[in-house]
Chain A
Amino acid sequence: MDNQLLTIYINGDAYQVDGNDNLLAAVLSNKLNLPYFCWHPAMGSVGACRQCAVTQYQDEHDKKGRIVMACTTPVAEGMRISINDHASQEFREQVIGAMMTNHPHDCPVCAEGGECHLQDMTVMTGHTSRNYEGLKRTFTNQDLGQFVGHEMNRCITCYRCVRFYKDYAGGEDLGVFGSKNQVYFGRQEDGQLESEFSGNLVEVCPTGVFTNKHFSAHYARKWDLQSAPSICANCSVGCNLSVGERYGSVRRVMNRYHHELNGYFICDHGRFGLSYVNSNKRLTRTKGIDHSSPMGLKKQDVVRALLHYRKKQFLAIGSGRASIESNQLLREIVGVRNFSTGFSATQLPFAKQHADYLSRHQPVSLAEIEQADFVLIIDEDITQSAARIALSVRQALRNKGIARAQSMGIPSWQDSAVRTIAGEQKSPLYIFTSVATKLDSVASARYLQSPEETKLAVEQLIAVLTNKHREHEINPNILQIADALIQAKKPLVISGWSHQHHGLFSSSIALIDAVSACHSNSCSLMTAPEANTVGQLYLTTEITQSVEQTIEQTITDSDIAGLIVLEHELPSLSKAQIERLNSANKLCIAIDHSDGKFTQAANMVLPATPVTESHGHFANYQGRVQSFYAVTPPILPIQNAWQWLCLLASGLEKLSDELTVINSFSTLHEWFEKHVDRWPIKLDASDTSIAREPHRVSGRTAKMANQTVHEAKTTQSEEAYRFSMEGGAIDTGDNMPYVWAPGWNSNQAITFYQQRPNGPLMNRQSAKFLSFNEQPFHQYQSVDEGKPANTEHNDVSLAMSVPWFRRFWLTRSQAEFSMMVQANVLYVSKSYANKQQLAVKQWVKVSLSKKNQSTRQEVFAQLMIDDDLPVNHLYLQADELHENHWQLVSVTLADEQALEQWHKQVENRLKSAELEQKNTLTRLKEKDQTIPIRLVSGGLEDA
Chain B
Amino acid sequence: MTIDLNSNLLTLDYLTEQEKIAIDHELQIMETREACSIEALKIVQLQRGWISDDSLHAIAAYLRIPSADLEGVATFYNLIYRQPVGKYVIHICNSISCHLCGYDAVVSAIKNYLAIEYGQTTSDGMFTLLSNACLGACDQAPVMMIDNQLYQSLTPQNVVDILQTLQAADNKGVGR
Enumerate chain A interface residues (CB-CB to B < 8 A).
145, 166, 172-180, 187-188, 191-192, 194, 423-424, 820-823, 825, 840-841, 862, 864
Contacts and interface: CB of A to CB of B under 8 A. Distances in A.
Interface stretch (B17-25, B36-44, B67-75, B98-106): B67-75
Given A172-B66, A172-B68, A424-B32, A820 B133 contact: no
B2 interface: yes
6 contacts: A172-B66, A175-B66, A175-B72, A191-B1, A423-B32, A840-B9
B1 A822 contact: yes
B68 A175 contact: yes
A187 B76 contact: no
Contact of A823 (B3, B68, B69): B3
The 3 A-B residue pairs with the shortest CB-CB distance, nearest first, are: A175-B68, A172-B66, A177-B75
B71 A821 contact: no
A180 B133 contact: yes
B101 to A, nearest CB: 20
B31 interface: yes
B1 A176 contact: no
Interface string B2-19: 110100010000000000
Contact of A179 (B3, B69, B76): B76
Contact of A862 (B5, B71, B75): B5
Most buried by A among B3, B31, B33: B3
A188 B67 contact: yes
A174 B71 CA distance: 10
Nearest to A823: B3
B31 A423 contact: yes
Most buried by A among B1, B31, B71: B1
Contacts of B9: 840
Contacts of A820: 1
Contacts of B68: 172-175, 187-188
Contacts of A176: 72
A175 B76 CA distance: 12
A823 B6 CA distance: 12
A179 B75 contact: yes
Contacts of A166: 66, 69
Given A175-B69, A423-B32, A841-B5, 16 more contacts: A172-B69, A175-B68, A176-B72, A177-B72, A178-B75, A179-B77, A188-B71, A191-B1, A194-B1, A424-B32, A424-B33, A821-B2, A823-B3, A823-B5, A825-B3, A840-B9
Nearest to A441: B64
B2 A822 contact: yes
Contacts of A840: 9
A524 B164 CA distance: 74
A145 B1 contact: yes
Given A178-B76, A423-B32, A823 B67 contact: no
Interface string B44-72: 00000000000000000000001111011
**Is chain A's binding surface mostly helix, strand, loop or mixed?**
loop
Nearest to B131: A180
A91 B116 CA distance: 40
Contacts of A191: 1
A805 to B, nearest CB: 9
Nearest to B3: A823
A822 B72 contact: no
Nearest to B64: A441
B168 to A, nearest CB: 34
Interface string B74-85: 011110000000
Contact of B1 (A172, A174, A821): A821
B66 to A, nearest CB: 4
B11 to A, nearest CB: 14
A177 B80 CA distance: 13
Contacts of A177: 71-72, 75-76
A822 B4 CA distance: 10
Given A178-B75, A179-B133, A423-B31, A173 B66 contact: yes
Most buried by B among A179, A188, A194, A823: A188
A176 B69 CA distance: 8
Contacts of A175: 66, 68-69, 71-72
Given A180-B133, A188-B67, A864 B1 contact: no
A69 to B, nearest CB: 23
Nearest to A877: B3
Contacts of B67: 188
Most buried by B among A175, A178, A821, A822: A175
A875 to B, nearest CB: 14
A276 to B, nearest CB: 20
Contacts of A180: 133
B68 to A, nearest CB: 3
Contacts of B5: 823, 825, 841, 862, 864
Contacts of A424: 31-33
A194 B72 CA distance: 18
Nearest to B6: A841
A541 B69 CA distance: 53
B133 to A, nearest CB: 6
Nearest to A194: B1
A197 to B, nearest CB: 15
A864 B133 CA distance: 46
Contacts of A821: 1-2
B73 to A, nearest CB: 9
B29 to A, nearest CB: 14
Given A175-B68, A188-B67, A822 B3 contact: yes
A187 B5 CA distance: 18
Contacts of A173: 66, 68
Contacts of B75: 177-179
Contacts of B32: 423-424
A820 to B, nearest CB: 5
Interface in B101-131: none
A704 B66 CA distance: 53
Contacts of A864: 5
A192 B2 CA distance: 8
Contacts of B78: 179
Contacts of B69: 166, 172, 175
A822 B1 CA distance: 5
Nearest to B95: A180
Contacts of B71: 175, 177, 188
A447 B66 CA distance: 22
A825 B1 CA distance: 13
A719 to B, nearest CB: 39
Nearest to A189: B53
A145 B1 CA distance: 8
A172 B68 CA distance: 7
Nearest to B75: A177
Contacts of A423: 31-32
Most buried by A among B3, B66, B68: B68
